[in-house]
């Protein structure tokens, strides 16, 4: 009996449909396991994400943000010469404290105050969190770069003259993002009376939003925040070697890696103990971050750097979903660990974290605050705008573009006053 070609074709088509249907059923089954999960990140949610960790979709938008936002150039006007400001004989001294995220704002304030007063700025010392924990500016930053950046803006000296150091210098506190009006009202009268001041910056709020209008003060602020601080050569070399190590470990993702600012000791502090309402949550733990990254599409072999110096067991949840998760101790060159890690110098460790977070392909702030805000500012100027703010995701997946920092998506960070 002859073979009917139409029957053969029909049979093949029928078999193909059954295979496709089987695949659809399996896909729906895996998706439904996640869709049934609540928005909170309970253990069942974590286990589902872990189970499906090898089935993540490819998403070109994961590593790169909106290219329209990336091609930015410095657009501030070089401040008029310091000679145009009435020069006085006094000095402004200050210290850098609490880590690099504060250093940027403290430098900004000091330069603005010194320029407005026509005073000479003294290179600051750097103080750690422990009593007596002091170091020189050049131990972390390039002093020559700083002094060169200030040429024509404000006079700078490395040390306070001997005859001045024995005098009683008045201590003055000013708020972050200090204004000319505040200086005229609260600082200048003290400076005129005492001759020199020691400046301290306090932070009534973390205000890094874009300025309403540009002026000479904004230009000075842009210069101070984005051009004056550069790591000294050895520190620069350490950070670069760690970045290179992470890129080597990330061959499967074209050398790209994520930096997550997740400091375990911060999670128990008051700032992280807010409302239970997810919408108001300002800190996320390792498990939260792991599930968030999975649901927005990052694959299991993605390389993740965490701003924790040594491994903490609470990070295991992140490593379960992303085995290539590292802290400083795992990727710092062995010959640098004694100086930069084993000394338990928290100030140095924070600086490494800050600049490594700045250089990563994607930055995820698990903790809100000034570290997050100032890393964003540095990244905007370099076109590194893929900054993803974590959140609870109730479904099985979501687009990474939904979680881009509002500093970037709304262009409301102060850096957009400086770059355009």
The enclosing domain of 325 has a CATH number of: 3.40.50.11350
Evaluate whether residue 15 is within a structural domain: no
Band of residue 39 on the pLDDT scale cut at 50, 70, 90 = very low
Q: Element (H or E) spanning 33, and its range?
A: helix 5-35
Q: Which domain holds residue 97?
A: 82-226
Q: What is the predicted pLDDT for the residue at 37?
A: 27
Q: Is residue 256 part of a domain?
A: yes
pLDDT tens string 316-364: 999 999 999 999 999 999 999 988 887 667 788 899 999 999 999 999 9
Please indicate whether residue 86 or residue 84 has the higher confidence score (pLDDT). 86
Whether 136 and 243 share a structural domain: no
Least confident of 3-12, 206-215, 372-381: 3-12
| 327 and 362 inside one domain | yes
Q: What is the pLDDT of residue 211?
A: 60
Please count the structural domains in the chain.
Answer: 2
pLDDT confidence of residue 346: 77
- Is 114 within a domain? yes
Give the end of a domain, one of 198, 226, 254.
Answer: 226
Are 188 and 253 contained in the same domain?
A: no
In a domain, 268, yes or no: yes
User: Cα(first)–Cα(last) distance of the chain, in Å?
Assistant: 79
Q: Are residues 305 and 393 in the same domain?
A: yes
Rounded (10°) angle between helices 370-381 and 100-117: 70
**Residue 384 pLDDT greater than 50, yes or no:** yes
Considering the domain architecture, whether residues 210 and 160 belong to the same structural domain is answered as: yes
Residue 35 has pLDDT above 50, yes or no: no
In the prediction, which pLDDT does 81 show?
Answer: 61
pLDDT tens digits for range 283-306? 999 999 999 999 999 999 999 999
pLDDT at 71 over 90: no
Cβ atoms < 10 Å from Cβ of 262: 28
Q: Residue 404: is its pLDDT beyond 60? A: yes
Q: Is residue 35 part of a domain?
A: no
From CA 379, how far away is CA 313, in angstroms rounded? 30
**Tokens found for residue 394:** 């109730």
Average pLDDT, the chain: 82
Distance CA 145, CA 151 (A): 10
Give the C-alpha separation, 402 to 405, whole Å: 9
Q: Is the pLDDT of residue 17 over 60?
A: no
Dist. CA 52–CA 296, nearest whole Å? 13
Clarify whether residues 155 and 250 are in a common domain.
Answer: no
Mean pLDDT of 34-43: 35
Say if residue 20's pLDDT is above 70: no
CA distance 61 to 386: 9
Strands (E), 29-157: 91-97, 120-122, 125-127, 134-135, 156-157
Q: What is the DSSP letter of 70?
A: T
* 200 and 92 both lie in a single domain: yes
Q: Which residues of 85-111 are buried (b: 16+ CB within 10 A; e: fewer)?
A: beebebbbbbbbbbbbbbbbbbbbbbb
- Whether the pLDDT of residue 38 is over 50: the answer is no
Lowest mean pLDDT of 36-40, 71-75, 87-91, 234-238, name the range.
36-40
Would residue 351 count as lying in a domain?
Answer: yes
User: Where is the domain boundary, 169, 191, 226?
Assistant: 226
Contacts with 50 (C-beta within 8 Å, 6 or more apart), sequence order:
320, 321
Residue-wise pLDDT for 246-273, tens only, equals 999 998 888 999 999 998 878 777 667 6
63 in a domain, yes or no? yes
Question: C-alpha dihedral over 315, 391, 49, 364, to 10 degrees?
Answer: -50
Q: Is the pTM of this model over 0.85?
A: no
CA–chain centroid gap for 184, Å, is: 33
Q: How far is 202 from 105, CA to CA, in rounded Å?
A: 10
- Cβ 307 vs Cβ 337: under 8 Å: no
| Between residues 129 and 379, the one the model is more confident about | 379
Do residue 382 and residue 246 come from a single domain?
yes
Residue 218 has pLDDT above 80, yes or no: yes
Q: Let me know whether 297 and 371 are in one domain.
A: yes
Q: How many CB atoms lie within 10 A of CB 122?
A: 24
Task: Tell whether 265 and 400 lie within a shared domain.
Answer: yes
- Looking at 199, 226, 253, which one is the last position of a domain? 226
My answer on whether 64 and 182 are in the same domain is: no
Alpha-carbon torsion 94, 95, 100, 101, what sign? negative
The structure tokens 């150039």 sit at 73
Q: Say if 304 falls within a structural domain.
A: yes
Tell whether 245 and 175 lie within a shared domain.
no
Which pair of tokens denotes residue 398? 């979501």
């Amino acid at each position: 009996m002859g073979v009917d070609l139409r029957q053969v074709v029909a049979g093949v088509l029928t078999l193909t449909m059954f295979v496709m249907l089987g695949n659809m059923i399996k896909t729906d089954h895996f998706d439904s396991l996640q869709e049934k999960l609540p928005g909170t990140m309970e253990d069942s949610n974590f286990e589902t994400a872990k189970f499906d960790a090898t089935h993540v979709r490819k998403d070109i938008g994961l590593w790169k943000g909106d290219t329209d936002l990336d091609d930015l150039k410095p657009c501030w006007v070089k401040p008029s010469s310091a000679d145009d400001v009435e020069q006085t004989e006094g000095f402004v001294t200050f210290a850098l404290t609490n880590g690099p995220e504060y250093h940027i704002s403290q430098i900004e304030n000091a330069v603005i105050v010194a320029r407005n007063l026509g005073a000479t700025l003294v290179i600051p010392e750097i103080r750690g969190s422990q009593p007596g924990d002091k170091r020189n500016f050049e131990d972390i930053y390039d002093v020559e770069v700083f002094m060169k950046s200030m040429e024509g803006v404000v006079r700078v000296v490395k040390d306070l003259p001997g005859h001045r150091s024995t005098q009683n210098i008045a201590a003055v506190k000013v708020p972050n993002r200090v204004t000319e009006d505040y200086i005229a009202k609260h600082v200048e009268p003290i400076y005129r009376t005492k001759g020199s001041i020691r400046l301290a910056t306090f932070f009534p709020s973390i205000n890094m939003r874009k300025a309403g209008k540009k002026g000479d003060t904004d230009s000075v602020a842009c210069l101070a925040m984005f051009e004056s601080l550069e790591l000294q050569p050895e520190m620069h070399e350490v950070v670069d070697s760690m970045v290179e190590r992470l890129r080597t470990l990330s061959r499967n993702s074209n050398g790209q890696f994520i930096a997550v600012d997740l400091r375990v000791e911060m999670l128990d502090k008051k700032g992280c103990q807010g409302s239970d309402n997810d919408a108001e949550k300002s800190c996320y733990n390792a498990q939260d971050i792991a599930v968030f990254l999975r649901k927005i599409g990052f694959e299991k072999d993605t390389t993740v750097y965490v701003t924790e110096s040594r491994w903490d067991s609470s990070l295991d949840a992140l490593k379960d979903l992303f085995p290539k998760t590292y802290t400083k101790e795992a990727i710092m060159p062995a010959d640098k660990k004694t100086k930069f890690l084993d000394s338990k110098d928290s100030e140095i460790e924070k600086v490494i974290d800050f600049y490594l977070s700045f250089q990563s392909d994607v930055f995820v702030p698990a903790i809100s605050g000034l570290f997050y805000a100032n890393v964003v500012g540095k990244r905007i100027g370099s076109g590194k705008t893929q900054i993803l703010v974590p959140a609870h995701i109730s479904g099985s997946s979501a687009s990474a573009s939904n979680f881009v920092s509002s500093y970037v998506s709304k262009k409301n960070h102060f850096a957009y006053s400086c770059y355009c």
